Amino acid sequence: MVLFDTHTHINDERFDADRFAVIENMRRAGVQLAVVVGDAAAQPESAFALADAYPFLYAAAGVHPHDAIKYNDAIQARIETWMAHPKAVALGEIGLDYHYDLSPRDVQKDVFARQLALARRLNKPVIIHIREAHGDAMDILRTADRPAGVLHCYTGSWESAKAYLDMGFYISLSGAVTFKNAPKLAQVAQNVPLDRLLVETDCPYMAPVPMRGQRNEPAFVAYTAQKVAELRGMDAEEFALAAYENGRRLFGIESAAQGKPT
């Protein structure tokens, strides 16, 4: 299969001991492209260093809703600087997370709106993280001058997915779609138009079945692609290639040299 892991954290310290081997594994598994997501509230340099080191890796940076309380003009300037990097393909992950409420909800909403406006000004797509906050997220997105983007690691309902699709967003499914207790994600996988669907690992989190409980890694995106293809009644290689091309289109990886399957 030709695969694109559209959301990874292989810059995470949990990969420090074997990062090179993990990257080799992903290539052997058919992962031709991956996006490494950096934390702009800390040090996003690690994501961009990996993108510089490997031609098939790209980078994103933004302030996660957990860290919204840290957002300030200096961090916004840092994001702007990193978005000028030649391997920067998206601003994110940004959004709302009401599960942990590590930043006050009013602050999360304000910072989400500010980063959406920044992405629009910089002409970058956004990677959106929403957890237990779809109503507020849709209210913000409906009134914003929206950039392109993706709902990453989507775990919401089909009804919510339809609303995001109507606003022009892509939907990305993670290993959660392989879990036995995920009937609503099966419905999402079956109904999202093929040209708006992506797959990801969100590694080191959310390892798919049969690797559930292990540290996730980009090679495991193959299991997610296979499950989504099964749910859609499609050939796995056909689905994986479609999702790959969707990711290239969203993130602007256009030329053969940047992302042609090998």
Render pLDDT for 173-226 as a digit per residue (tens, 0 to 9). Answer: 999 999 999 999 999 999 999 999 999 999 999 999 999 999 999 999 999 999
Q: Any alpha helices (H) in 30-154, and if so which ranges? A: 45-53, 73-83, 105-122, 134-143
Quote the CA–CA distance of 31 and 136 in Å, as a whole number: 35
Quote the CA–CA distance of 66 and 107 in Å, as a whole number: 10
Q: How far apart are the first and last CA of the chain?
A: 11
In a 3-state reduction of DSSP, which class is residue 87? coil
In a 3-state reduction of DSSP, which class is residue 19? helix
Angle between helices 134-143 and 158-166 (to 10 degrees): 10
The pTM assigned to this predicted structure is 0.96
Judge whether 24 is annotated as a binding position: no
Largest CA distance in the chain: 49
Quote the CA–CA distance of 158 and 115 in Å, as a whole number: 26
Judge whether 152 is annotated as a binding position: yes
**Cis peptide bond prior to 86, omega within 30° of 0:** no
Residue with tokens 């892991």: 5
Residue pair 153/178 in contact by the 8 Å Cβ criterion: no
Residue pair 169/142 in contact by the 8 Å Cβ criterion: no
Judge whether 73 is annotated as a binding position: no
DSSP string, 174-234: -GGGGSTT-HHHHHHHHHS-GGGEEE---BTS-PPTTSTTSPP-GGGHHHHHHHHHHHHT-
146 pLDDT tier (thresholds 50, 70, 90): very high
Quote the CA–CA distance of 227 and 211 in Å, as a whole number: 13
In a 3-state reduction of DSSP, which class is residue 127? strand
The per-residue pLDDT for 42 is: 86
User: Over 60: is that where the pLDDT of 256 sits?
Assistant: no
- State the DSSP H helix or E strand holding residue 131, giving kind and residue range, or none if neither: strand 126-131
Measuring CA to CA, which residue among 150, 199, 149, 151 is closest to residue 175? 199
Residue pair 32/57 in contact by the 8 Å Cβ criterion: no
**pLDDT tens figures, 19-77:** 999 999 999 999 999 999 999 998 789 999 999 999 999 999 999 999 999 999 999 99
